[in-house]
Amino acid sequence: MAKENNPRGLYVKVKKKRGLKASSRRWIERQLNDPYVRQAKADGYRSRAAYKLIEIDDRYKLLKPGQRIVDLGAAPGGWCQVAVERTGSTSDDIRVVGIDYLEVGPVAGAEILLMDFLDADAPDRLIETLGGPPDIVLSDMAAPTIGHRQTDHLRTMHLVEVATDFAIRTLVPGGHFLCKTFQGGTERDLLDLLKQNFKTIHHVKPPASRDGSVELYLLAKDFKGRKARPSQGGDEAGDPDDAEAGPLG
The answer to whether 100 is a known ligand-binding residue is yes
For the sheet containing 69-72, what is the strand order? 110-114, 96-100, 69-72, 136-139, 176-182, 215-223, 198-204
pLDDT, tens digit (0-9, with 9 covering 90-100), for 73-90: 999 999 999 999 999 999
The answer to whether 79 is a known ligand-binding residue is yes
CA torsion through residues 129, 130, 131, 133, sign: negative
- Cα separation, 171 vs 223, in Å, equals 7
pTM metric for this prediction: 0.79
Q: Which domains does the chain have, with CATH numbers?
A: 16-45 (no CATH), 47-242 (3.40.50.150)
- Catalytic residues, by residue number, are 180
Q: How far is CA 70 from the centre of its chain?
A: 11
The answer to whether 119 is a known ligand-binding residue is no
Quick check: 7 pLDDT over 60? no
From its phi and psi, is residue 157 left (phi > 0), alpha (psi between -120 and 50) or beta?
Answer: alpha
**How does residue 30 score in pLDDT terms, banded at 50, 70 and 90?**
low
Are 45 and 80 a contacting pair, CB within 8 Å?
no
Closest to 145 (Cα-Cα) out of 182, 112, 100, 99: 182
